């Protein structure tokens, strides 16, 4: 009989051939963790461009009414209701010599980069055709984001079965994601002005595609690096049920019956509504609400935006590092770290509502502190999804890694879109007009949207986490009967 080569070009047994007791204790190399982080560095180039740049681009550069831009941000997400579970189901059933999930980054890296640029092109057409182009280009960009990010998210769950290693991977993921976000926020604004030849809307219409193209090249290279530097080793569904392969309907049913998956996914939706709303309003908050007297290079609006957003991203990197130390080094419970971060975020966001416009330094410090706590929370929320898959396998007998992440990514994108759409509607309701001095009513709306949303989101997620059962040592407690077997 012809010998079958090992799968996933890995030196150790993988999938159903793996010895779970060996794979569960595997420690990942620094090289592989860095490689995994490159994937979200690439994803975050688009994510941060959508959250922090695209809404402002549509209203102040592209020339769409703010309410129409808000509707666009939400409407496209209903398309994701179809594409997300399809991609998740296909990814779980993909079988190649590279594994299930890694090849998606190889296949979609270049389309991802090309469509990122296309979303920032302003066609010389009428208003109706321009709006149609915005819908189509944004929908295609989000489709490629789905095709990259769902398999990428699932990848962490098959690189190792060790839960601390999985959480460590999420810290690398979001630390590198902040690097990608930092690249976007410090460079896209000044590059668009520089490459377009000025700061007028016509100049920026020319400059933004060139600026995004440079960042897209970085994203494509990072995705290819993630593919090359990572390996898939264990598939929990095969270890649990060797030789069996559930249908899509059964996998969806198992996901929807998993109470802990619902808690994590609802938390993701709420926190991303907050992220979409605050992120989309941030350029307006910096440009119109903050009243500073800086001269020189930072007197230019685009450079001041880059300063504000770049420093905020660096604070997020520090938050990821601290969360990793608390969880990995000091052995804090994952849920305890998340609750601490949410409580910590209440203070700076509450103070932002009271800080005068002229205190721009104080506003900057509070925004940095808020993002520090936010990025303590986010990596551990993502790290909870493989735990919900394991919980489903133990209680229901089913759990599909990519499909569970697909559901979470859909909640993430719906949260961003609801937040982004709400930002357009709120600004419109308070009388926002592009590229003019704002009224006192409009400025109040900008401040309320920017600082109020995180307060509401943190409180709601804190309540949700009271019902989350997968705390430190939950598997042993489940086996011992102190954690309910009901999914």
**Per-residue pLDDT, 215:** 93
Interatomic CA distance for residues 277 and 448, integer angstroms? 10
**Per-residue pLDDT, 315:** 92
* Complete DSSP assignment for 166-225: HHHHHHHHHHHHHHHHHHHHHHHHHHHHHHHTSSSHHHHHHHHHHHHHHHHHHHHHHHHH
Query: What number of helices (H) and strands (E) belong to the chain?
Result: 17, 0
Which tokens in the block code for residue 276? 């979409």
Compute the CA torsion angle 379, 385, 390, 394 (nearest 10 deg). 130
Q: What is the CA radius of gyration of the chain?
A: 22
Please, which pLDDT band fits residue 474 given cuts at 50, 70 and 90? confident
For residue 16, is pLDDT > 50? Answer: no
Residue 281 backbone zone (phi > 0: left; psi -120 to 50: alpha; other: beta): alpha
**Closest by CA position to 226, among listed 133, 102, 113:** 102
Alpha helices in 93-162 (DSSP H): 102-118, 127-159
Interatomic CA distance for residues 369 and 289, integer angstroms? 19
Mean pLDDT of the chain: 86
Residue whose pair of structure tokens reads 């179809």 in the numeric block: 82
Q: 422-434, pLDDT tens digit by residue?
A: 888 898 899 998 8
- Provide the 3-class DSSP secondary structure of residue 205: helix
Q: What are the residues whose beta carbons fall under 8 Å from the beta carbon of 338, sequence distance 6 or more?
A: 376, 377, 380, 381, 465
Interatomic CA distance for residues 363 and 307, integer angstroms? 13
- Provide the 3-class DSSP secondary structure of residue 99: strand
Would you say how long the chain is, in residues? 487
Please, which pLDDT band fits residue 483 given cuts at 50, 70 and 90? low
**Per-residue pLDDT, 136:** 95
Mean pLDDT of 172-201: 90
Partners of residue 99 on adjacent β-strands: 96
Which tokens in the block code for residue 335? 């849920």
25-36 exposure pattern, b = at least 16 Cβ within 10 A, e = fewer: ebebeeebbbbb
Higher model confidence: residue 357 or residue 435?
357
Exposed, middle or buried, 336 (CB in 10 Å: 0-12/13-18/19+)? middle
Cβ atoms of 195 and 226 within 8 Å: the answer is no
Please, which pLDDT band fits residue 8 given cuts at 50, 70 and 90? very low
pTM of the model: 0.77
Please, which pLDDT band fits residue 348 given cuts at 50, 70 and 90? very high
Which tokens in the block code for residue 259? 């109470």
Cβ atoms of 214 and 327 within 8 Å: the answer is no
User: How open is the CA angle 323-326-332, to the nearest 5 degrees?
Assistant: 120
**Per-residue pLDDT, 296:** 86
Lowest-pLDDT choice from 67-76, 237-246, 371-380: 237-246
Cβ atoms of 275 and 415 within 8 Å: the answer is yes
Partners of residue 96 on adjacent β-strands: 99
**Torsion sign over Cα 394, 150, 135, 38:** positive
Which tokens in the block code for residue 411? 């909640």
**Per-residue pLDDT, 9:** 40
Interatomic CA distance for residues 446 and 291, integer angstroms? 14
- Going along the chain from its start, the domains and CATH numbers come out as 26-480 (1.20.1250.20)
**Closest by CA position to 411, among listed 280, 266, 274, 254:** 266
**Per-residue pLDDT, 284:** 92
Interatomic CA distance for residues 15 and 22, integer angstroms? 12
Q: How far is CA 152 from CA 226, 328, 417, in A?
A: 9, 22, 21
Interatomic CA distance for residues 282 and 50, integer angstroms? 12
Lowest-pLDDT choice from 42-46, 148-152, 155-159, 165-169: 165-169
**Per-residue pLDDT, 257:** 93
Partners of residue 395 on adjacent β-strands: none
**Closest by CA position to 385, among listed 284, 260, 198, 238:** 260
**Per-residue pLDDT, 26:** 64
């Amino acid at each position: 009989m012809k010998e079958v080569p090992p799968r996933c070009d890995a030196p150790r047994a993988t999938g159903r051939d793996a010895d779970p007791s060996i794979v569960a204790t595997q420690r990942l190399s620094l090289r592989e963790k860095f490689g995994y982080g490159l994937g979200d560095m690439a994803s975050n180039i688009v994510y941060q461009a959508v959250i922090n740049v695209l809404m402002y681009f549509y209203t102040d550069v592209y020339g769409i009414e703010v309410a129409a831009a808000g509707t666009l941000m939400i409407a496209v997400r209903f398309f994701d209701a179809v594409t997300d579970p399809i991609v998740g189901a296909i990814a779980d059933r993909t079988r190649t010599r590279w594994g299930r999930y890694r090849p998606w980054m190889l296949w979609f890296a270049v389309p991802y980069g090309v469509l990122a640029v296309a979303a920032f092109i302003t066609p010389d057409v009428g208003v109706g055709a321009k709006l149609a182009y915005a819908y189509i280009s944004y929908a295609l960009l989000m489709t490629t984001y789905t095709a990259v990010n769902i398999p990428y998210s699932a990848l962490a769950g098959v690189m190792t079965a060790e839960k601390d290693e999985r959480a460590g991977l999420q810290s690398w993921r979001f630390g590198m994601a902040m690097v990608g976000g930092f690249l976007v926020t410090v460079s896209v604004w000044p590059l668009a002005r520089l490459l377009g030849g000025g700061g007028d809307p016509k100049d920026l219409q020319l400059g933004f595609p060139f600026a995004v193209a440079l960042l897209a090249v970085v994203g494509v290279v990072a995705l290819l690096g993630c593919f090359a530097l990572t390996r898939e080793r264990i598939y929990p569904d095969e270890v649990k049920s060797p030789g069996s392969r559930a249908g899509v309907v059964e996998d969806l049913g198992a996901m929807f019956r998993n109470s802990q998956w619902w808690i994590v996914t609802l938390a993701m939706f709420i926190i991303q509504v907050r992220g979409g709303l605050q992120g989309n309003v941030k350029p307006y908050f910096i440009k119109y609400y903050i009243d500073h007297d800086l001269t020189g290079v930072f007197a230019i609006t685009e450079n001041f935006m880059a300063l504000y957003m770049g420093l905020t991203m660096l604070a997020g990197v520090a938050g990821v590092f601290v969360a990793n130390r608390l969880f990995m080094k000091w052995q804090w419970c994952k849920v305890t770290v998340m609750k601490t971060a949410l409580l910590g975020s209440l203070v700076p966001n509450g103070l932002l509502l009271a800080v005068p416009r002229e205190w721009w330094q104080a506003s900057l410090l509070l925004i940095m502190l808020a993002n520090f706590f936010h990025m303590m929370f986010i990596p551990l929320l993502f790290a909870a999804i493989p735990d919900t898959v394991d919980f489903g396998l133990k209680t229901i007998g089913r759990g599909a890694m990519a499909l569970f992440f697909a559901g979470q990514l859909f909640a993430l994108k719906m949260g961003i879109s609801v937040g982004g759409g709400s930002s357009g509607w709120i600004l419109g309701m308070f009388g926002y007009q592009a590229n003019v001095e704002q009224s006192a009513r409009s400025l109040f709306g900008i401040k309320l949207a920017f600082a109020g949303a995180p307060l509401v989101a943190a409180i709601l997620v804190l309540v949700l986490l009271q019902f989350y059962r997968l705390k430190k040592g939950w598997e042993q407690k489940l086996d011992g009967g102190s954690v309910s077997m009901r999914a």
